[in-house]
């Protein structure tokens, strides 16, 4: 019978769904232990995760069986995870924690700290003569706004920032950079436009 994966973060008693029935494992669940939240209040804090398979009974109902898993983090600057599923916060932001057992994987999103307000960078032709420089804390969402004409944001070398169009009168979706550093970018439509984003 085909195994389906379902992932969520919740304390014991959370819910899940599956389209299969029968006695074989139906779901891999990544679950925070002893808490209702997947958030860590501040850098340095920890959170225990565990991985479970949901086994459907022959006559309905299901049971969560804890399984051994290997663990990884999508962003080790924000959060690392050890071999026992203990997540340690690094900087404010979010990271996706993945548990793997056999061919099954499950993911849980962990948030460190309160999400800071987004910083809007004005990206206009004036950047041709006065380059734009913006300094933000690691994990702060940034976005670009154009009021005069259409522009783009393109990293001088490799991203970040990710390439994005900034059409006249619009604001781009936010980008969150968690790795500290100085990032230079320009407009591919007006190449003399230069910008610098400093992540501290």
pLDDT in tens, 132-180: 999 998 778 899 999 999 999 999 998 999 999 999 999 999 998 878 8
Is residue 70 within 8 Å of residue 85, measured between CB atoms?
no
- pLDDT reading at 20 higher than 50: no
DSSP conformation class of 33: S
Residue-level pLDDT at 6: 36
DSSP character at residue 179: S
Is the pTM for the entire model greater than 0.85?
no
**pLDDT at res. 24:** 40
- What confidence tier does 10 reach under pLDDT thresholds 50, 70, 90? very low
Do the Cβ atoms of 166 and 199 come closer than 8 Å?
no
The answer to whether residues 80 and 87 touch, using CB atoms and an 8 Å cutoff, is: yes
Mean pLDDT of the chain: 84
Instruction: Reply yes or no on whether the pLDDT at 8 is more than 80.
Output: no
DSSP β-bridge partners for residue 103: none
For the stretch 53-109, pLDDT in tens is: 877 767 777 778 899 999 999 999 999 999 999 999 999 888 999 999 988 898 888
Report the DSSP pairing between strands 164-166 and 194-199. unpaired
Which whole number is the average pLDDT over 25-44?
77
User: Taking residues 47-52, what's their average pLDDT?
Assistant: 94
For the segment 13-28, the average pLDDT, to the nearest whole number, is: 40
State the pLDDT confidence band at 21, using cuts at 50, 70 and 90. very low
> Regarding predicted confidence, which is higher, 42 or 64?
42
**Is the pLDDT confidence value at 124 over 80?**
yes
For position 36, what pLDDT does the model report?
64
């Amino acid at each position: 019978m085909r195994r389906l994966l379902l992932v969520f973060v919740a304390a014991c008693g959370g819910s899940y769904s599956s389209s299969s029935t029968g006695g074989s494992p139906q779901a891999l669940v990544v679950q925070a232990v002893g808490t209702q939240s997947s958030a860590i209040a501040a850098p340095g804090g920890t959170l225990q995760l565990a991985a479970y398979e949901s086994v459907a009974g022959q006559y309905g109902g299901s049971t969560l069986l804890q399984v051994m898993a290997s663990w990884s983090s999508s962003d080790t600057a924000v959060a690392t995870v050890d071999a026992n599923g203990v997540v340690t916060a690094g900087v404010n932001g979010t990271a996706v924690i993945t548990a793997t057992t056999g061919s099954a994987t499950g993911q849980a999103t962990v948030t460190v700290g309160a999400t800071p307000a987004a910083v809007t960078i004005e990206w206009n032709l004036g950047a041709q003569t006065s380059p734009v420089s913006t300094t933000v804390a690691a994990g702060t969402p940034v976005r670009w706004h154009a009021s005069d004409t259409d522009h783009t944001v393109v990293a001088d070398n490799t991203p970040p920032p990710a390439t994005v169009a900034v059409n006249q009168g619009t604001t781009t979706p936010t980008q969150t950079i968690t790795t500290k550093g100085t990032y230079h970018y320009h407009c591919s439509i007006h190449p003399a436009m230069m910008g610098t984003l400093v992540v501290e």
